Amino acid sequence: MINQYLALNKTFRSPFVFCLTGRGFYSEINNLLNAVVYGLAHKRRLIVNDSRFNDLAWRELFATSLPVASVSTIKKVQPDWHVSGAHSANFITIHGWASRRHKNRVPLFFPRLRLFGSFFQVKRELTQMLTRPQVPATFPVGLSRPFAAVHIRRGDKTEGYRDGKGRLIVEGDYVSPRAYIDRLILETPEIRSIFVMTDDYRIVDEFKQESRDYSIHTLCRREEKGYRQPEFSSLDPGRKTAMIRRLIDETHIAASSSIFLGGFKSNVARFVPLWHAQPERCLSIDSRKSWVPI
C-alpha cells in the first residue's frame, strides 16, 4: 500500500512540508503520522523534510519510503506551511484537527487506499504501512509468549527541564514498578514474564526486587541511568542510529505482548498501540488513567 499512498499523495495540490526534527523520536513519528492523515483528509500534498532529523536517516531505520521532494520544490511551499516543531505556525492546526477527529470518532474514508474507520484505526493502518522496521527485532534470550510488557521512562521525562524562561517543566509522572506489578496482577494474574522497556537499569533491578515470582527481561544496559535529550543530541550519528534501532526493537517487542502498560504522557507508550495486535490491551498507568486508543 505504500506505493499507492505515495502515488496518491503526488496527485494532491496545496503542498505542505513536515520537517522531522531533533525532538523526541516517537514524538516526531506520531506527529508525522498525524500529518499523513491530515494530508489525505484535506487532499493536500505532504512533503517530508528529514534534513534536520538529528543526524538520523529514515531508510536506516525503516524499510519504507517517505513522500519527499527536491529542495527547489520545498522552497516554493508557503513558509507558514513548513511545519517544524510544536511552535511552528501550523503545527497546532494539524495537531488540533487530529485531536478533534480522534475525540469525536467521525469515520474517515480513503477509498483509493481502502482505508475506513476512526482516526485511530486509520492512523494504525498507516503506521504499519510507513514504519516497517529495517531490521527485525531481536527478542531477549528466554523471553517467550505469553508475556507482559511495561514502559517506564526516567531521565528528563520525570526530572524535568528548564524552558526558555527558566521554568521547570516536568512532562511525565514518576510511577513506581510496584504500581505496574499490582496492575498486572489485577489484569493478567496468569502471566509470569515481563519485558521491561526502560532507559534506566535501576528500574530493572527494582522489578526484580518487587516481583520475585516473575521472569524479568530487558534490552536496557546496566550502565544506563535515564535518557536525556541533550545527551542524545551530542552523540555521533552512528551511536544515535544504534540507540534508535534498539528503541524500535523495544517497541516491536512491547507490541508483541499479551498486555502492555505505559504512561499516556509518553509518546513511546502511545505509539505501542499503533503496532499492537490488540490495542485494547494497552493500558495507561500514569495520572491520565483513562486511555482508550480505539
Give the residue among 138, 128, 18 at the shortest CA–CA distance from 62: 128
Spell out the residues 6+ positions from residue 119 whose beta carbon is closer than 8 angstroms to its own. Answer: 37, 98, 101, 102, 105, 108
Helix (DSSP H) and strand (DSSP E) numbers for the chain = 12, 12
pLDDT one digit per residue (tens) for the chain, 294 residues = 899 999 999 999 999 999 998 878 999 999 999 999 999 999 999 999 988 888 889 999 999 999 999 999 999 999 999 998 888 889 999 999 998 988 888 899 999 999 999 999 999 999 999 999 988 888 998 998 899 999 998 766 666 666 677 776 666 677 888 999 999 999 999 999 999 999 899 999 999 998 888 999 999 999 988 777 778 788 898 999 999 999 999 999 999 999 999 987 788 888 999 999 999 999 988 755 555 554
Spell out the residues 6+ positions from residue 146 whose beta carbon is closer than 8 angstroms to its own. Answer: 188, 190, 191, 193, 257, 258
Backbone angles phi, psi at 195, to 5 degrees: -95, 120
Q: What is the pLDDT of residue 211?
A: 82
The answer, as to whether pTM is greater than 0.85, is yes
pLDDT tens digits for range 180-199: 999 999 999 999 999 999 98
pLDDT tens digits for range 48-100: 998 888 888 999 999 999 999 999 999 999 999 999 888 888 999 999 999 89
- One-letter amino acid at 234 equals S
Give the DSSP letter of residue 235. Answer: S
**DSSP string spanning 70-82?**
-HHHHHTS-GGGE
The architecture that CATH gives domain 148-284 is 3-Layer(aba) Sandwich (3.40)
- One-letter amino acid at 127 equals T
Q: Where are the domains of the chain?
A: 2-130, 148-284
Spell out the residues 6+ positions from residue 225 whose beta carbon is closer than 8 angstroms to its own. Answer: 154, 155, 200, 201, 202
